[in-house]
């Protein structure tokens, strides 16, 4: 069964540094999403992406964050000037259309030191 | 109004018993209610989902009951097995055109053998 793949599984970064989290969505999916889960808390929506542009974003997704689909298979989340509170599990998801189920990857654990 | 409240936070059930997890929402514009199952170190995996035009949906041992007037929905796991031990999240999406999933806080389910 096709799945969403995320790399790396764990990323450790110094505060203030930039980090890029990578995702390979399911190949015939057109909608892409990033969510995050701070330890012990609920999963929170960050952003959705369709047709090479952001289609919806949350208040968490400020100027520190950006997303990109640099080629036909990858979807990335960039966090500039990381802060301690950015430490979380970041999940990528994709869906065939807006009304189809969202399929999640296994996440990247981001630790900011 | 965008919140989904989930209870209980943790649940212990004996093997063969029925596990029941409840969720409540305020936003009547939500139009899609999925349940996700998450094992340690893995991303959320879609278990079952329902739309508000039906009151119940069953897939194998998993059943969603939906009460539109009370703005509540619940997951029932019949004949619970140790392999069902995981964290379960309810979620909601809407209104029409919205893409983000709003998640509940999660329920850690333990099935004792």
Give the Cα separation of B26 and B73 in Å (integer).
12
In contact, A102 and A33? CB cutoff 8 Å = yes
Report residue A107's pLDDT band, with 50, 70 and 90 as the boundaries.
very high
Look at residue A98 in the predicted model and tell me its pLDDT: 86
Give the rounded distance of the alpha carbon of B34 from its chain centre.
7
pLDDT, one tens digit per residue, over A15-35 is 999 999 999 999 999 999 999
- Mean of per-residue pLDDT scores for chain B: 94
| Mutation site for A-interface testing, chosen from B5, B23, B44 by largest number of A Cβ within 10 Å | B44
Give the Cα separation of A83 and B100 in Å (integer).
24
| Mutation site for B-interface testing, chosen from A104, A107, A108 by largest number of B Cβ within 10 Å | A104
Number of C-beta neighbours around residue B66 at 10 A: 19
Chain A residue with CA closest to B108: the answer is: A40
Report residue A1's pLDDT band, with 50, 70 and 90 as the boundaries.
confident
pLDDT, one tens digit per residue, over A49-106 is 999 999 999 999 999 999 999 888 899 999 999 999 999 999 999 999 988 899 999 9
Look at residue B1 in the predicted model and tell me its pLDDT: 65
């Amino acid at each position: 069964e096709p799945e969403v793949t995320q790399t790396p599984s764990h990323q450790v970064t110094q505060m203030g540094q930039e980090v890029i989290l990578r995702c390979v969505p399911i190949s015939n999916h057109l909608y892409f999403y990033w969510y995050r889960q701070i330890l012990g808390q609920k999963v929170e929506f960050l952003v959705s992406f369709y047709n090479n542009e952001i289609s919806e974003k949350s208040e968490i997704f400020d100027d520190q964050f950006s997303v990109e689909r640099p080629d036909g298979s990858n979807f990335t989340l960039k966090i500039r000037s990381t802060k301690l509170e950015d430490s979380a599990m970041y999940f990528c998801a994709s869906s065939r259309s807006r009304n189809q189920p969202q399929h999640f990857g296994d996440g990247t654990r981001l630790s900011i030191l | 109004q965008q919140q989904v409240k989930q209870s209980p936070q943790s649940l212990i059930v004996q093997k063969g018993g029925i596990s029941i997890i409840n969720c409540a929402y305020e936003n009547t514009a939500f139009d899609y209610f999925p349940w996700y199952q998450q094992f340690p170190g893995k991303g959320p995996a879609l278990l079952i989902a329902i739309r508000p035009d039906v009151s119940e949906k069953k897939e194998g041992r998993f059943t969603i009951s939906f009460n539109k007037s009370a703005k509540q929905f619940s997951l029932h796991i019949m004949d619970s097995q140790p392999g069902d031990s995981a964290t379960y999240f309810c979620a909601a999406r809407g209104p029409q055109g919205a893409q983000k999933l709003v998640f509940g806080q999660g329920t850690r389910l333990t099935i004792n053998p």
